[in-house]
Amino acid sequence: MSDLAPFRAHVLERGHELYRDLPWRRTRDPYAIWLSEVMLQQTQVARVDGRWQRWLSRFPTADALAAASSADVLDEWQGLGYNRRALACWNAARAVSAAGGAFPSDEAALRALPGVGPATAAGIRAFAFDLPGVYLETNVRTVFLHDLFPDVADVPDSALVPLVRETCPLSSDDPSDDPRTWYYALLDYGFELKRTCPNPSRRSRTHARQSRFEGSHRQKRAELVRILLDSRELGEPLTLESAVESLSAVEVRAGRDPMDAPEVESILDELASEGFCSREGEVWSA
């Protein structure tokens, strides 16, 4: 690691200067840290701060989340986007609860949980257990591209992973340079780079522009989930006719064409197949 020593020293120095005192950094509870990692995927910190605390107040443990209904979980998730993440959280909590309620620290066991990929597992290991791993998320990627690949385009993650692994400290003996501190430094330095420089992540082979949400199939799915939750709160199971009427009203207000029944039914059945709702005859319910 000798040739990377100046890079590490620079990152730690910048991380110390730029440290963000975020609420999920004040805990080592793996359940709470896991939730922050999931919520922060493709969602800005400002939107998660407040929602994370509210979620923990409603579902303070993996056992509490596992005992909730999928509709309650989806209801609490509204506004955070990507509803699939909510169901993945619920299913992961059910798996943890069934195994005794304690989050594992082993990488393979973490990655076996629904919705937990390599970066999320590495984040839980680093921030909850101070264990090394390859935590390659967008801000971390930004630092490596900016400092170590300044003039290179189309950089694949396969070129970054060995460097991320090599620079991560292997022990937690030094609290000023352990896995938790190291990755916080990378996150905060990367956040500052993205704020002040042309985004280096655009030079990553993995970079892709996010598809437009408004008018998309994903937007219609999200609206139907909200309509299902509203129907549940009112105690009125959703019929196809009422779903078409409610979703069409949303579309027309946005300047788009109203929906037809076959398309709405197809989306509702798609949601039912994924566990967002259930269908009994011609009625859907969350």
Catalytic machinery residues: 37
Partners of residue 48 on adjacent β-strands: none
DSSP 108-142: HHHHTSTT--HHHHHHHHHHHH--------HHHHH
CA 278 to chain centre: 25
d(CA 175, CA 271): 46
105-112: long-range pairs with CB below 8 Å, 24+: 105/30, 105/129, 105/131, 107/133
Phi, psi (deg, nearest 5) at residue 278: -130, 155
282-to-118, 205, 265, 285 alpha-carbon distances in Å: 41, 46, 10, 10
